[in-house]
Amino acid sequence: MKAVKQIMLVVLGLFFFALQGCSHEDYIPVPGPAGADGTNGTNGIDGTTECATCHSKAHTGPIKASYALSVHAIETLHETTNASGATITLKTSEYTNRTGCVQCHTSQGYIDKVNGDVLKTGTGTALGFPAYPGGKQAISCTTCHDKHSSFDFKNDGNDFALRQGFTPVVLATDASYKIEMGTSNTCVNCHQPRAIVPTTGDIKLSNRFGPHYGPQSTLLEGIQGALIVGSTPYPAPKSAKHRTGASCVTCHMGKDSEATNGAHTWKPTPNACTTCHAGGTPTSVTGYAADMATLEELLVAKGAYSTTTNSLTTATVPIKVAQAAWNYVMLKQDKSNGVHNPAYAKALLKNSIEAIK
| Least CB distance to ligand HEC at residue 205 (A) | 18
Output 276 or 301, the one with its CB closest to ligand HEC: 276
Output 172 or 355, the one with its CB closest to ligand HEC: 172
Contact between 175 and 295 under an 8 Å Cβ cutoff? The reply is: no
Strands (E), the chain: 77-81, 87-91, 169-171, 174-179, 203-204, 305-306, 311-312, 316-317
Output 285 or 317, the one with its CB closest to ligand HEC: 285
Contact between 238 and 47 under an 8 Å Cβ cutoff? The reply is: no
Output 20 or 155, the one with its CB closest to ligand HEC: 155
Q: What DSSP state is assigned to residue 152?
A: -
| Least CB distance to ligand HEC at residue 146 (A) | 7
CA distances from 80 to 85, 173, 214, 216 (A): 9, 28, 21, 27
Residues 6+ apart with CB under 8 A from 276: 241, 245, 246
| Least CB distance to ligand HEC at residue 126 (A) | 8
| Least CB distance to ligand HEC at residue 158 (A) | 4
| Least CB distance to ligand HEC at residue 299 (A) | 21
CB closest to ligand HEC, residue no: 245
| Least CB distance to ligand HEC at residue 298 (A) | 22
User: Please, what is the Cα angle at 110 between 106 and 112, to 5 degrees?
Assistant: 120
Please say whether the dihedral angle defined by the alpha carbons of residues 123, 129, 135 and 140, taken in this order, is positive or negative: positive
With 0-12 / 13-18 / 19 or more C-beta atoms within 10 angstroms meaning exposed / middle / buried, residue 172 is middle
CA distances from 9 to 1, 16, 28, 45, 271 (A): 12, 11, 20, 36, 65
With 0-12 / 13-18 / 19 or more C-beta atoms within 10 angstroms meaning exposed / middle / buried, residue 347 is buried
| Least CB distance to ligand HEC at residue 355 (A) | 22
Output 72 or 350, the one with its CB closest to ligand HEC: 72
Output 158 or 316, the one with its CB closest to ligand HEC: 158
Output 92 or 352, the one with its CB closest to ligand HEC: 92
Residues 6+ apart with CB under 8 A from 168: 178, 179, 180, 185
| Least CB distance to ligand HEC at residue 144 (A) | 3
| Least CB distance to ligand HEC at residue 148 (A) | 5
List beta partners, residue 88.
Answer: 80
Output 24 or 147, the one with its CB closest to ligand HEC: 147
Contact between 221 and 239 under an 8 Å Cβ cutoff? The reply is: no
Output 170 or 355, the one with its CB closest to ligand HEC: 170
